[in-house]
């Protein structure tokens, strides 16, 4: 990386381009500082909880009273101050849209006329590693105002700062817009399932009438020759996504038999035992032939329903099923075979099942694509920041 100063840019110190100040926490025991407070008062989590790509902040979780401002020498930062976390988590910067105070975990930059807040905000976020490295402190890592003031920055002319900020903002906006569409896709998915399962006039059929559910098993652990073979052996931990493509453990072919059953590609699996059932009912279809353990039941349909459709129905009913999870005497959570058999599935004809399953599969695929896009955008932004903020690539007028 070149240490040359790009043409027209000026070396400066942070303390020379902005006035730095901190914040504080008014006494929590004094009700007058907090009750009916109307002044936004930021803590680091207000900043770190913002979605990636969002550089502006307008509201905070907590508010303080006017009186707290007066009596606690709490500084009210005017809009367009760069608020940066400086304690424990360091170098998360945002710009406030509203007058806002902060707690002691911030360094706040009131920019001079030479410095564009948006540019400084991007610069600080891009230099997070350097800022963290410069921080001292024993209990908390903390970047002091004194240290921060002396950190060097190469400052482009104000117009160029604005142009750089504009390019970076276009990336941020793409990230935010993509994120909003991903979030909404899951809403559409839920609404589609809701309409299908709650508002259709499909005849309800009990799950027990659609096929058989069988438990898996564990080959004897002591017999080494039964393990580490070619056959995937699925445990609940392998069922983190709706399609299982691989299992962490494998068994040998000769281990198949008895409780350790083999199911074909495309089998629906359901977790029926384990603490995960306290918060989720994992289901998955297999993308290969596999064996599975005793905490899982496999579905053997009798031809009236396709596994993917049943899986969607179970996903849709997760909220209700969670309430039916029992606790075994030793505390393990379990779903009884009886409960599973009694689950009601509104069942349309096979073509309709296939169509709905395909629609949802397509939606899932679109969500995966958008997720990948998100990752690409974030990576690109990081590369672009380093090119533009440090003058490797210039943004012409």
Residues that bind another protein (CB under 8 A): 166-167, 170-171, 173-174, 176-178, 180-181, 184-185, 187-188, 190-192, 194-195, 198-206, 319-320, 323-324, 326-327, 338-339, 342, 344, 346, 384, 393, 395-396
Smallest distance, Å, CB 296 to another protein? 20
> How far apart (Å, rounded) are the C-alpha atoms in residues 108 and 143?
12
Smallest distance, Å, CB 393 to another protein? 6
Smallest distance, Å, CB 181 to another protein? 4
CB atoms within 10 A of CB 170: 11
Smallest distance, Å, CB 199 to another protein? 7
Smallest distance, Å, CB 163 to another protein? 9
> Which CB contacts under 8 angstroms, 24+ apart, belong to 62-67?
62/34, 62/37, 63/34, 63/37, 63/38, 63/39, 64/26, 64/33, 64/34, 64/37, 64/39, 64/101, 65/32, 65/33, 65/34, 65/35, 65/36, 65/37, 65/38, 65/39, 66/38, 66/39, 67/32, 67/33
Q: Select 10 or 205, whichever has its Cβ closest to another protein.
A: 205
Smallest distance, Å, CB 209 to another protein? 8
Q: Select 19 or 190, whichever has its Cβ closest to another protein.
A: 190
Q: Select 249 or 370, whichever has its Cβ closest to another protein.
A: 370
Smallest distance, Å, CB 125 to another protein? 18
What's the order of all strands across the beta sheet hosting 89-96?
18-21, 106-111, 82-87, 89-96, 56-57
Q: Select 258 or 396, whichever has its Cβ closest to another protein.
A: 396
Q: Select 129 or 362, whichever has its Cβ closest to another protein.
A: 362
Q: Select 194 or 212, whichever has its Cβ closest to another protein.
A: 194
Token pair in block for residue 386: 């380093």
Smallest distance, Å, CB 105 to another protein? 32
Q: Select 32 or 180, whichever has its Cβ closest to another protein.
A: 180
Q: Select 150 or 177, whichever has its Cβ closest to another protein.
A: 177
């Amino acid at each position: 990386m070149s240490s040359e100063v790009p043409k027209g840019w000026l070396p400066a110190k942070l303390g020379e381009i902005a006035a730095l100040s901190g914040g504080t926490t008014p006494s929590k025991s004094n009700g007058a500082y907090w009750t009916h407070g109307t002044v936004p008062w930021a803590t680091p989590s207000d900043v770190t909880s913002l979605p990636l790509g969002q550089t502006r902040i307008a509201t905070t979780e907590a508010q303080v009273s006017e009186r707290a401002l007066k009596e606690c020498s709490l500084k009210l930062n005017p809009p367009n101050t760069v608020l940066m976390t400086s304690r424990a988590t360091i170098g998360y910067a945002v710009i406030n849209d509203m007058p806002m105070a902060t707690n002691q975990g911030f360094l706040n930059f009131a920019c001079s006329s030479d410095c564009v807040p948006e540019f400084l905000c991007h610069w600080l976020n891009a230099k997070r590693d350097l800022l963290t490295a410069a921080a001292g402190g024993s209990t908390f890592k903390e970047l002091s105002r004194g240290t921060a003031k002396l950190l060097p920055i190469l400052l482009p002319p104000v117009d160029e700062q604005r142009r750089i900020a504009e390019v970076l903002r276009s990336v941020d906006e793409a990230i935010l817009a993509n994120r909003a569409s991903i979030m909404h896709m899951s809403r559409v998915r839920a609404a589609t399932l809701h309409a299908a399962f709650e508002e259709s006039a499909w005849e309800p059929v009990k799950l027990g009438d659609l096929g058989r559910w069988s438990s898996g098993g564990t080959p004897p652990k002591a017999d080494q020759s039964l393990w580490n073979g070619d056959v995937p052996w699925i445990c609940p931990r392998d069922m983190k996504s709706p399609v299982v493509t691989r299992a962490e453990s494998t068994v040998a072919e000769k281990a198949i038999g008895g409780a350790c059953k083999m199911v074909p590609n495309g089998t629906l699996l359901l977790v029926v035992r384990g603490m995960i059932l306290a918060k989720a009912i994992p289901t998955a279809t297999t993308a290969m032939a596999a064996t599975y353990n005793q905490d899982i039941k496999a579905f053997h349909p009798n031809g009236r329903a396709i596994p993917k459709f049943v899986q969607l129905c179970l996903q849709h009913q997760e909220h209700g099923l969670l309430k039916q999870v029992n606790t075994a005497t030793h505390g393990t959570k379990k779903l009884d075979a009886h409960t599973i058999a009694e689950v009601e599935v509104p069942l349309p004809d096979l073509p309709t099942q296939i169509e709905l399953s395909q629609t949802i599969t397509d939606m899932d695929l679109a969500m995966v694509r958008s997720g990948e896009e998100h990752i690409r955008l974030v990576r690109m932004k990081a590369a672009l920041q380093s090119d533009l903020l440090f003058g490797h690539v210039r943004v012409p007028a």
